[in-house]
Amino acid sequence: MTKRPIRWHIAVFLAPAVLVYTAIMIIPLFGTLNLALYGEEGFRGLRNFRTLLGDPLWSDAFWNALGNNVWFFVIHMLVQNPIGILLAALLSSPRLRLAAVYRTAIFVPTILSFVIVGFVWKLILSPLWGIAPSMLDAVGLRGLFAPWLGQEGSALTTLALISVWQFVGIPMMLIYAALLSIPDEVLEAAEMDGITGWSRFWKVQLPLILPAIGIISILTFVGNFNAFDLIYVSQGALAGPDFATDILGTFLYRTFFGFQLQLGDPHMGAAIATAMFLIILVGVCLYLFGIQTRLRRYQF
Amino acid sequence: QEPVTLTIESWRNDDLAIWNDVIIPAFEAQHPDINVEFAPTAPAEYNAALNSKLQAGSAGDIITCRPFDASLELFNNGQLADLSDLPAMANFSDVAKSAWQTDDASATFCVPMASVIHGFIYNRTAFEELGLEEPTTVDEFFAVLDAIQEDGTYIPMAMGTNDQWEAATMGYQNIGPNYWKGEEGRQALISGTQKLTDPQWVQPYEQLARWKDYLGDGFEAQTYPDSQNLFTLGRAAIFPAGSWEISVFTPQIAGAFEMGAFPPPVPAEGDTCYISDHTDIGIGMNAATPNPEAARTFLDWVGSPEFANLYGNALPGFFPLSNAEVTLEDPLAQEFISWRDECESTIRSTYAILSRGTPNLENETWNASANVIRGTETPADAAARLQQGLDSWYTPAQQ
Amino acid sequence: MGALDLRGVAKSFGKTPVIKGVDLSVADGEFVVFVGPSGCGKSTLLRMIAGLEDVTTGTVFLDGQDVTNLAPAKRGIAMVFQTYALYPHLTVRDNMGLALKQAGVSRAEIARDVGRASAMLALDPYLDRRPVELSGGQRQRVAIGRAIVRTPRLFLFDEPLSNLDAALRVATRIEIARLHRELGATMIYVTHDQVEAMTLADRIVVLRAGEVEQVGRPMDLYNDPANTFVAGFIGSPRMNFLKGAALGEQADTLGIRPEHLAIARGPGPIPGTVSHVEKLGGETLVYVRTEPHGLLTVRLFGEHDFAVDEAVGLSPDGARAFRFDAAGRRLR
Amino acid sequence: MGALDLRGVAKSFGKTPVIKGVDLSVADGEFVVFVGPSGCGKSTLLRMIAGLEDVTTGTVFLDGQDVTNLAPAKRGIAMVFQTYALYPHLTVRDNMGLALKQAGVSRAEIARDVGRASAMLALDPYLDRRPVELSGGQRQRVAIGRAIVRTPRLFLFDEPLSNLDAALRVATRIEIARLHRELGATMIYVTHDQVEAMTLADRIVVLRAGEVEQVGRPMDLYNDPANTFVAGFIGSPRMNFLKGAALGEQADTLGIRPEHLAIARGPGPIPGTVSHVEKLGGETLVYVRTEPHGLLTVRLFGEHDFAVDEAVGLSPDGARAFRFDAAGRRLR
Amino acid sequence: MAARSRPGRSIAAHAILLTYTLIALFPVWIILINSVKSRRAIFGAPLALPTPETWDLVGYTTVLENGDFFGYFLNSLIVTVVSLALVLLFGAMAAFALSEYRFRGNTLMGLYLALGIMIPIRLGTVAILQMMVSAGLVNTLTALILVYTAQGLPLAVFILSEFMRNVSDDLKNAGRMDGLSEYAIFFRLVLPLVRPAMATVAVFTMIPIWNDLWFPLILAPSEETKTITLGSQVFIGQFVTNWNAVLAALSLAILPVLVLYLIFSRQLIRGITAGAVK
Ligand SMILES: Nc1ncnc2c1ncn2[C@@H]1O[C@H](COP(=O)(O)OP(=O)(O)OP(=O)(O)O)[C@@H](O)[C@H]1O
Ligand SMILES: Nc1ncnc2c1ncn2[C@@H]1O[C@H](COP(=O)(O)OP(=O)(O)OP(=O)(O)O)[C@@H](O)[C@H]1O
Ligand SMILES: [Mg+2]
Ligand SMILES: [Mg+2]
């Protein structure tokens, strides 16, 4: 038997990505994470982590940020992704008029920069300038209005919803792309079988796009645990009120780069980053090894 | 000889036009061999961006200095050059220089540029309309607020807690020095003879807690720009301010109403008044600059009375720190600076030394001030928490 | 019930007309077979009946009701797609059972019906496989199974047996015929297989380039084709077309089926040379080159030996010849 | 030297053995047809030859060279997939021309070769369409065209004509035969069509459940099948299997082809009643229910009328009967 | 496809989509109308349409007068388009290797390439900047392109490899039978067939690049290499933000991304693999 020849093309396909990525992301990033093992005075082993998790000064902030982050993620999973899937499912109905218009319109917020998003939502939700209050007034719900962004109970949820508003386009587009790859004739067969509308979605389309849903879940997870900008531009690095909107990203930023009079602490910052990285890594590995390998894929 | 180009790192986007139109031409006229380029960064990104660039060696020649520890750290890292021997340093008082010196004052690494003074700006037209006078004591102050509240035309005071720093800087640091007696209290805190839980440190919080009722509807979500807009649109009567607002408000109000200013009211009639006259901007030299000569030439000029005049008048509300006599043209700026004569000056209590550790006293103060105003934390609790945080890393004896 | 009426239905893809005005009535319970050359529009017509393809003009009636704009799902039609269109994510069992499940049929009934279909199609060993794990013929059988587990009023079959082996094809054909008898459902069936067309059809519809050429009972079409196209299309091997003039006939063209052309060694009425011999076991096809008729096919029962290039004489059975005019129309 | 040699090749999908050790030598330039029931492994074997499917055990030789682990692209084989596998984003022209383009053939030559193939397959009007705009038969022809524009040393055809109408099928079959003659290339062809198998093959390989049952020339298989399976599989309609004992024969089973069973009205050696009559035009199939042989098929040339339930007598042509033992093996 | 649009259901679909479109566009609408109003009018009545009294293009004029706005535009465009092209090319290649071939370490390689989305790349700033300084790439667009390429790759590989698994093996095998090399199979068959996924990745990659502030600030802050986002930051001051100008600048900055989005979204087409197999 002849030996299988070495498949050089695999290396060729991987090389450019691996090289650029390793040189410009992995080396700098892991060089930075490495700082977590050091302090001003030199090598500290895992003591930075002990401080992070053991010293109430740090650990309270850490757990607060982690808890907020989990909530932030939960909202995205419960609101953003279902809406995104719903919109994609509707948009993908064959022969829907104006589909491209809707799709573009719904995607527009995703294009906006955080500066604008932060500004406009603060403007809308501001108790002062009257957009939200007067709109609620118009439907007789003025009483419901509260300065949501300023209250500890509602600020995080409000921001999460703003983020959902901004990013719903992402799951929508991914799912839409996945739905497009389902052959029309399979849908036609379903149609002949009397399977239309939602049952078509549940019984035919959804099982076929499960991998894409897996992807948006994991992207949401990763994205949320790395989120930073929206909170930073709308609530500042101190993620007010009273750290109610502090998530790991803002906590990390404050620590790593410093803020106002607080000098950056690259070592503790790197420790937080490492902790975040590990949390995300565990999530991603659970997905990659626990779920992704079990997902069936169908070729069209 | 090739003209050298000096690049200035700054967080003052706001001043871009002033530098390009007024200051740089004035300098270049005298030094044709030196080009100066003002390259500001958005303030929120400044520290992080500057630190990264300094570390990697791509920062500009001239560095605009934040006061106290941020710059001290750069100096200690060898990233800011020692400017103690710069001739223009003689033009500055020790107090002015203290923000950019080592703790033992042996080295000065930035030329002081400007300070900002806190106080209250008010809508004079509204006051006249309601027949109100500038308050001088706390009781008068609240009487005025009550009167405005009663009338209902205006929101008594424009302040929100969303951005937190507004509450700390324009609230706590504004009214506080009257309670802790300025420098006396600040030094005592540093030396450990006073605690944040002492009455003089808690009382400002107690006053802040009373402000809540006079702030606009939904002040919890009100941001600093919202407050500014409330005031400049004429919807609020009083704005707890920093002097920098002068150059912001004047063009925005554009004559729609008259502004006035009063210093923080004193607790009791006849008390000495204290103002926060905070050293805020300095300017130094990147130790790694390839053009140290030109940079020093430039910095020396920045220390000159000529610069002080140019700058102080171009940016009313940023008061030159130079000993030189500066005549300010803006009436409101004059009003603010006149308080230097009536009251004792001090700097913000948290800036020097006390914000070196974690938790950071300044950041904690933001949080506490906002919490106290919102009523989610009592003044005593807030003070206790701050002191506890400070104790966790700061031992005055070390000083 | 399952009567179907097509009134002037036409279909264009863009500017290309594909179905050019078809009128057709199918009685309730009838078995109609569509035949026609590849690309003539059989599948398109089927899809129009199903409602999967817009009707450009014309009307489709089901049981007298205008369904032209009715959704496919509402028409109560089962269809076997030429491309199978199986659900890739479902097992064979679920592929067949999905429609029943959707209709709210009980589990037990689904299991029974699916079991019956799978037994009939010899799919029992594969019930738990997914389509990718099946051979071509197995997939095709699943497609059939999916259609027949439902008991709709109208079945559409698009070349359902094309990938099955002869034995299975016969067996399945017989099952479909039985199903037709038992259910009394209307069936419309597209095939390229002469045997299927002849044996299954109540009526055959011969299509050419989007138009109906002739409609009739199988043996009527075979024995009484309206034109050369139908005559040539029905019957395999294809009918021989001889030049009438050369045979002293008035008709322009004389159509003679391969089985009605006698062959003898040596000279004959139509002399020619053997070009090629195909032995199929039970029969033998001899291809004879002649002047001026070109290549003629002779079909012989049993095994026969002819040498290539051997001179032979062919004699047409004049009584069984079909006569056509120059335009290809039958002269009667 | 054999063009293709399979030595004990076997293939399992997971634990299911699908090809169970096939040995086969195909001579250079030979035309070999694989036949076998649906799901017996024909496509799998073809894909193994092509290198698309890993060989679980065994070796594949091409021109004496072990290619078991050679990449498909390097084997110089052209293949028509049962599922077509057209490039959906390319036009018909580009689908057919891609391989040539890849091989660096000049544009003019590509145009010529594609033009020739498309003319032969009657695809000229569709050259600028994409697969989605084609009918089933047209797609299948594109798949054939894609394989034949190249001139490789080995062609693999997986049921290439299954979706074509009779006329086109005959024409294409003849073209493939011509191509085979002209190129002298080796061809392996999978089909369910008896006529194709009988007419095209130099040798037929009969597969059953992943094993080779018999290999031989078409008429040899027809006239000399090794067992009941081959006897039943080759020839359509299927051979009748009669119980030897009931006929006073020693053999367990007597195989008699439908054309070798004479039928007469009234009683006869094997009495029975007509169950069903199929008129196919040129021939008539009569299905007769008998005891104890079950349903027997009689094939008659021409048109005949029998009434259902009519009593008939069948007489087998003993000389042309095949005798098998209880295990189905032929007794000679 | 299904011939008939069922009125009831399609009305419901349109109702939902329209509602969501309004939700999506309302804030954008606010941005647009306010970008052409005077500052007083923005905060005086943010919901009001611009009237002759409040109509004010000061934002736009400020933006266009301030700095080389079109130069910034061009820089943004170059950086975005080139990085995008590289991300798509390299990402698709790597994704193809991961999805098509089974080799040792395949999953680990996939994980390795995904690590990048788990750590904010900002943390690597100093090291990256040092690298660029020593390579002499500071204040060049190349530096930005390199960083964005690296930053975009993990997501691209992640998404594309999933979509590439959907491409029919038979199709690729047909290519192999046609003598196509693995490269040709990738470029000629697989890439065209994952167009919707490529478009999706392109859009996802493009937005953060276009909107990024940090790396332009660090790596290429010079006047010649400034990007539009960085250019717009000039209007965000310490104590006062020129919202007219920011709104105008960022409204203008939406246009090119929107155009790019529209270009890419044309690749989102149905039935791309239709007719391939039966
Ligand atoms: N991926 C798979 N996993 C498991 N079994 C498979 C797989 N692919 C094919 N099989 C089985 O292997 C057997 C042979 O399949 P193959 O496609 O070779 O049959 P075939 O002879 O070509 O049949 P047909 O005439 O129906 O096309 C079938 O029984 C099929 O079910
Ligand atoms: N989407 C399309 N766009 C343009 N032409 C099309 C399209 N679909 C089919 N056609 C053309 O319409 C004609 C009829 O196609 P149809 O599939 O109905 O043929 P058919 O009779 O089923 O053929 P076959 O026996 O080959 O399956 C064909 O010539 C085909 O090329
Ligand atoms: Mg068809
Ligand atoms: Mg097969």
Which residues 168-187 on chain D approach chain C with CB closer than 8 angstroms? 168-170
Q: How far is CA B238 from the centre of its chain?
A: 19
pLDDT at D90: 94
Q: Which two tokens stand for residue E152?
A: 């975009």
Q: D208 with D243, same domain? A: no
Position C40 confidence tier, pLDDT thresholds 50, 70, 90: very high
Residue range B150-156: average pLDDT? 92
Which numbered atom of ligand 1 lies nearest the CA of C132?
Answer: 1
**Number of neighbouring beta carbons within 10 Å of residue B85:** 9
Residue B399 has pLDDT above 50, yes or no: no
Cβ D250 under 6 angstroms from ligand 1: no
Owning domain of residue C255:
237-331
Q: Which two tokens stand for residue D236?
A: 């359509």
Q: E29 with E117, same domain? A: no
**pLDDT tens per residue across span B97-141:** 989 999 888 999 999 999 999 999 999 999 999 999 999 999 999
- Which residues have CB less than 5 Å away from ligand 4 (the ion)? C 135-136; D 43, 82
Residue E8 has pLDDT above 80, yes or no: no
Q: E24 with E160, same domain? A: no
Nearest Cα neighbor of C299 from D304, D301, B317, B182 is: D301
Q: C210 with C275, same domain? A: no
Residue range C140-157: average pLDDT? 93
Beta strands A262-263 and D16-27: pairing type?
Answer: unpaired
Q: Which residues of C217-244 are buried (b: 16+ CB within 10 A; e: fewer)?
A: ebeebbbebbbbbbbbbbbbbbbbbbbb
Sequence-distant (6+) residues with CB within 8 A of D276 are: D286, D287, D308
pLDDT at E4: 46
Mean pLDDT of chain C: 92
**pLDDT tens per residue across span E26-64:** 999 988 888 888 888 888 788 888 888 888 888 888 888
Q: D75 with D145, same domain? A: yes
Q: C36 with C78, same domain? A: yes
3-state secondary structure string, C84-135?
Answer: CCCCCCCCHHHHHHHHHHHCCCCHHHHHHHHHHHHHHCCCHHHCCCCHHHCC
pLDDT at D292: 86
Q: Which helix (H) or strand (E) holds A276?
A: helix A266-285
pLDDT at A78: 96
Residue E154 has pLDDT above 90, yes or no: yes
Beta carbons of E236 and E246 less than 8 angstroms apart: yes
Is B359 close to A57, i.e. CB distance below 8 A?
Answer: yes
Cβ D134 under 6 angstroms from ligand 2: yes
Is A191 close to C71, i.e. CB distance below 8 A?
Answer: yes
Indicate the angle between helix axes A47-54 and A56-75, nearest 10 degrees.
70
Q: What is the DSSP letter of C312?
A: E
Beta strands D186-190 and D154-158: pairing type?
Answer: parallel
Beta carbons of E223 and E70 less than 8 angstroms apart: no
Distance D136 CA to ligand 3 centre (A): 5
Rg (CA), chain E: 23
Cβ D82 under 6 angstroms from ligand 1: yes
Provide the H-helix boundaries in D42-135. 42-50, 92-102, 107-120
Residue B37 has pLDDT above 70, yes or no: yes
What is the distance between the alpha carbons of residues B81 and B293, in angstroms, rounded to a whole number? 12
CATH number for position E143: 1.10.3720.10
Cβ D135 under 6 angstroms from ligand 2: yes
| Alpha-carbon distances, residue C283 vs D177, D260, D301 (angstroms) | 20, 12, 9
* Number of domains chain E is built from: 2
Position A1 confidence tier, pLDDT thresholds 50, 70, 90: very low
Choosing from D210, D230, D250, the residue where a domain stops is D230
Q: C217 with C281, same domain? A: no
Q: Which residue minimizes the CA distance to atom 18 of ligand 1?
A: D41
Q: E85 with E30, same domain? A: no
Q: Which ligand has the nearest atom to the CA of C18?
A: 2
pLDDT at B398: 47
Q: D219 with D166, same domain? A: yes
Q: E126 with E213, same domain? A: yes
Phi-psi sector, C248: left (phi>0), alpha (psi -120 to 50), beta: left
| Alpha-carbon distances, residue A230 vs A9, A167, E195 (angstroms) | 42, 11, 31
Residue E5 has pLDDT above 80, yes or no: no
Distance D292 CA to ligand 4 centre (A): 36
Which numbered atom of ligand 2 lies nearest the CA of D137?
Answer: 26
Sequence-distant (6+) residues with CB within 8 A of D192 are: C137, C163, C164, C165, C166, C169, D35, D38, D159, D162
| Alpha-carbon distances, residue D137 vs C205, D166, E274 (angstroms) | 19, 11, 15
Mutation test of ligand 1: which of D9, D11, D40, D162 has the most ligand atoms closer than 8 Å to its C-beta?
A: D40
Phi then psi for residue C149, to 5 deg, are: -65, -25
Cβ C44 under 6 angstroms from ligand 2: yes
Residue D224 has pLDDT above 50, yes or no: yes
Q: Which two tokens stand for residue C304?
A: 């026969």
Q: D93 with D225, same domain? A: yes
Beta carbons of D286 and D309 less than 8 angstroms apart: no
Q: Between vectors from CA C130 to CA C129 and to CA C132, what angle results, nearest 5°?
A: 120
Residue C10 has pLDDT above 50, yes or no: yes
Q: Which helix (H) or strand (E) holds B119?
A: strand B110-123
Sequence-distant (6+) residues with CB within 8 A of E31 are: A112, A116, A119, A120, E247, E250, E251
Q: Smallest CA–CA separation between A76 and chain C, in Å?
A: 28
Q: E19 with E114, same domain? A: no
Q: Which ligand has the nearest atom to the CA of C135?
A: 1
Residue D112 has pLDDT above 80, yes or no: yes
Residue range E73-86: average pLDDT? 94
First-to-final CA distance of chain C: 38
Residue range B279-298: average pLDDT? 93
Owning domain of residue E166:
63-272
Asked whether the whole model's pTM tops 0.90, one would answer yes
CATH number for position C30: 3.40.50.300
**pLDDT tens per residue across span C124-143:** 999 999 999 999 999 999 99
Q: What is the full DSSP assignment across chain E?
A: ---PPPHHHHHHHHHHHHHHHHHHHHHHHHHHHHHTB-HHHHHH-TTSPP-TTTB--HHHHHHHHSS-HHHHHHHHHHHHHHHHHHHHHHHHHHHHHHHH---TTHHHHHHHHHGGGGS-GGGGHHHHHHHHHHTT-TTSHHHHHHHHHHHHHHHHHHHHHHHHTTS-HHHHHHHHHTT--HHHIIIIIIHHHTHHHHHHHHHHHHHHHHH--HHHHHH--STTT--HHHHHGGGB-SS-B-HHHHHHHHHHHHHHHHHHHHHHHTT--TTTTTTS--
* Number of domains chain C is built from: 2
Q: D321 with D226, same domain? A: no
**pLDDT tens per residue across span A123-165:** 888 888 878 888 888 887 777 788 888 888 899 999 999 999 9
Residue count of chain B:
399
What is the distance between the alpha carbons of residues B244 and E232, in angstroms, rounded to a whole number? 23
Distance C210 CA to ligand 2 centre (A): 10
Contact E/A (≥3 CB pairs under 8 Å): yes
Cβ-based contacts of C280 with chain D (< 8 Å): 194-195, 198-199
Choosing from C170, C201, C230, the residue where a domain stops is C230
Q: E37 with E67, same domain? A: no
Is A113 close to E229, i.e. CB distance below 8 A?
Answer: yes
Residue range B170-186: average pLDDT? 92
Q: Which amino acid is at A114?
A: F
Smallest CA–CA distance from C131 into chain A, residue: A298
Q: D168 with D277, same domain? A: no
What is the distance between the alpha carbons of residues B391 and C9, in angstroms, rounded to a whole number? 90
Sequence-distant (6+) residues with CB within 8 A of A158 are: A125, A148, A149
Beta carbons of B333 and B319 less than 8 angstroms apart: yes
Sequence-distant (6+) residues with CB within 8 A of C211 are: C20, C21, C22
| Alpha-carbon distances, residue A255 vs A56, A237, A263 (angstroms) | 15, 10, 8
**pLDDT tens per residue across span D253-298:** 999 999 999 999 988 889 999 998 988 888 899 999 998 899 999 9
pLDDT at A275: 92
Sequence-distant (6+) residues with CB within 8 A of B383 are: B196, B197, B201, B202, B205, B368
Is C71 close to E278, i.e. CB distance below 8 A?
Answer: no
Top residue of D65, D69, D86, D133 to mutate, by most chain A CBs within 10 Å, is: D69
Residue B387 has pLDDT above 50, yes or no: yes
What is the distance between the alpha carbons of residues B305 and B324, in angstroms, rounded to a whole number? 6
E278 within some domain = no
Is A2 close to D59, i.e. CB distance below 8 A?
Answer: no
Residue B287 has pLDDT above 80, yes or no: yes
Which residue pairs from E40-49 have beta carbons closer than 8 angstroms and sit at least 24 positions apart in sequence? E40/B233, E42/A123, E42/E243, E42/E244, E42/E247, E43/A128, E43/A129, E43/B229, E43/B233, E44/B233, E45/A130, E46/A123, E46/A124, E46/A129, E46/A130, E46/A131, E47/A130, E47/A131, E47/A134
Which numbered atom of ligand 1 lies nearest the CA of D210?
Answer: 14
Cβ-based contacts of D61 with chain A (< 8 Å): none
Q: Which residues of D107-123 are buried (b: 16+ CB within 10 A; e: fewer)?
A: eeebeebbbebbebbbb
CATH number for position D247: 2.40.50.140
Which domains does chain A show, CATH number per domain? 46-298 (1.10.3720.10)
**pLDDT tens per residue across span C57-99:** 999 999 989 999 888 988 989 999 999 999 999 999 999 999 9
Q: C104 with C199, same domain? A: yes
Sequence-distant (6+) residues with CB within 8 A of B249 are: B121, B228, B231, B232, B259
E147 within some domain = yes
pLDDT at D279: 87
Q: E74 with E211, same domain? A: yes
First-to-final CA distance of chain E: 17
Q: C196 with C271, same domain? A: no
What is the distance between the alpha carbons of residues B229 and B155, in angstroms, rounded to a whole number? 12
pLDDT at B1: 63
Q: Smallest CA–CA separation between C54 and chain E, in Å?
A: 5
Q: E30 with E150, same domain? A: no
**pLDDT tens per residue across span E106-118:** 889 999 998 988 8
E3 within some domain = no
Q: C24 with C98, same domain? A: yes
The verdict on A259 touching B (C-beta cutoff 8 Å) is: yes
Distance E177 CA to ligand 1 centre (A): 20
pLDDT at B197: 93
**More confident: C200 or E63:** C200
Q: E24 with E86, same domain? A: no
